[in-house]
Amino acid sequence: DAGVIQSPRHEVTEMGQEVTLRCKPISGHNSLFWYRQTMMRGLELLIYFNNNVPIDDSGMPEDRFSAKMPNASFSTLKIQPSEPRDSAVYFCASSLDWGERKLFFGSGTQLSVL
């Protein structure tokens, strides 16, 4: 298996633009997680899905952020409009099921909002 695949690896955009980050989890994994990593705040859980259903989005910073999982093999995290303080590395991770605590992470998307 190729592992968790995220795209793009790097994204540079201007303030106010819409940004869409993409994730393909490992085939057969039922849980998917979006994390944000910054120097100041470390690794923060934004939202997670189980069987394509959002379970907890309390970590989403504000309404500018939204996430979807239309099927078991694809998820998106969208920021609209983007702001400079959104600059971070965004990671997607998946696990076999909700009870499995072993997460497999993608390589992340480095987002820079100018």
Partner 1 sequence: GDSVTQMEGPVTLSEEAFLTINCTYTATGYPSLFWYVQYPGEGLQLLLKATKADDKGSNKGFEATYRKETTSFHLEKGSVQVSDSAVYFCALSDQQEDDKIIFGKGTRLHILP
List residues near partner 1 by CB under 8 A. Answer: 4, 33, 41-43, 45, 48, 55-56, 91, 93, 98-99, 101-108
**Smallest separation, CB 81 to partner 1 (Å):** 27
How many CB atoms are located within 10 Å of the residue 53 CB?
Answer: 8
How many CB atoms are located within 10 Å of the residue 67 CB?
Answer: 20
User: What distance separates the 2 farthest-apart alpha carbons in the chain?
Assistant: 40
**Smallest separation, CB 63 to partner 1 (Å):** 22
Judge whether 74 and 26 are in contact, CB under 8 Å.
Answer: no
- Which CB sits closer to partner 1, 55 or 114? 55
- Which CB sits closer to partner 1, 56 or 83? 56
**Smallest separation, CB 11 to partner 1 (Å):** 16
Judge whether 65 and 81 are in contact, CB under 8 Å.
Answer: no
- Which CB sits closer to partner 1, 15 or 95? 95
